[in-house]
Amino acid sequence: MEKYHVCQICGHIEFDSAPVHCNSCFAPRERFKEITDAIMPAEKEGREKHVPQIIVTGECGLIPNACRDVHVKIGSVPHPMQSDHWIQWIDVYINKEFSARYQLKPDHLQASVGLHIKNSVTGTLTIIQHCNKHGSWMAEAQL
Ligand SMILES: [Fe+2]
């Protein structure tokens, strides 16, 4: 079973080791805890609404020639975005290195984000999303 390093303040997950400061909330390394079941298994009940769906496109309409668009939505069946049940954040990693956190409120947004990834970037894109009721779920795609 894979071990993850989880920030006890904001829930941010790191793979190889706990950073000096949390990449999301800047809490010090001592606030990280090693947890093996931090990510829900992809075959777990509820996966249809929770496993991130990643669509890597070949191009970008915003920054042509330098970028390709990646679309991420949570669930093959859209996850609810209601005040009692929603996707709180979507964390983005390139080759297991943290790149961005998208913090969501349920009022106006779908459970989705659009990424503009530099053409020069290759390797594995990892998405971890966190549902306030059902925990953290992960998916990967190749860039
Ligand atoms: Fe959920």
- DSSP per-residue codes, 67-109: EEEEEEEETTTTPP-BTTB-EEEEEEEETTEEEEEEE--TTT-
Q: How far is the CA of 143 from the centre of ligand 1 (A)?
A: 27
Cα-based distances in Å from 25 to 12, 15, 28, 100: 8, 17, 9, 12
H or E element: which one contains 47? Answer: helix 47-50
Q: Above 80 in pLDDT, residue 47?
A: yes
How many residues are recorded in the chain?
143
Q: How far is the CA of 133 from the centre of ligand 1 (A)?
A: 5
* pLDDT value of residue 48: 97
Q: Above 80 in pLDDT, residue 61?
A: yes
Q: How far is the CA of 111 from the centre of ligand 1 (A)?
A: 11
Residue 50 φ then ψ, to 5°: -125, -30
Question: How many of the other CB atoms lie within 10 Å of CB of 105?
Answer: 10
Q: How far is the CA of 88 from the centre of ligand 1 (A)?
A: 10
Q: How far is the CA of 59 from the centre of ligand 1 (A)?
A: 31
Question: CA–CA separation, 119 vs 82, rounded Å?
Answer: 35
pLDDT category of residue 121 using cuts at 50, 70 and 90: very high
pLDDT, one tens digit per residue, over 124-141 is 999 999 999 999 999 999
Q: How far is the CA of 90 from the centre of ligand 1 (A)?
A: 13
Question: CA–CA separation, 23 vs 20, rounded Å?
Answer: 9
DSSP state of 37: S
Q: How far is the CA of 80 from the centre of ligand 1 (A)?
A: 7
pTM for this structure?
0.95
DSSP-derived 3-state class of residue 22 = coil
* Token pair 């795609």 in the structure block, residue: 141
Q: What integer best gives the mean pLDDT of the chain? A: 96
Q: How far is the CA of 110 from the centre of ligand 1 (A)?
A: 13
* pLDDT value of residue 109: 94
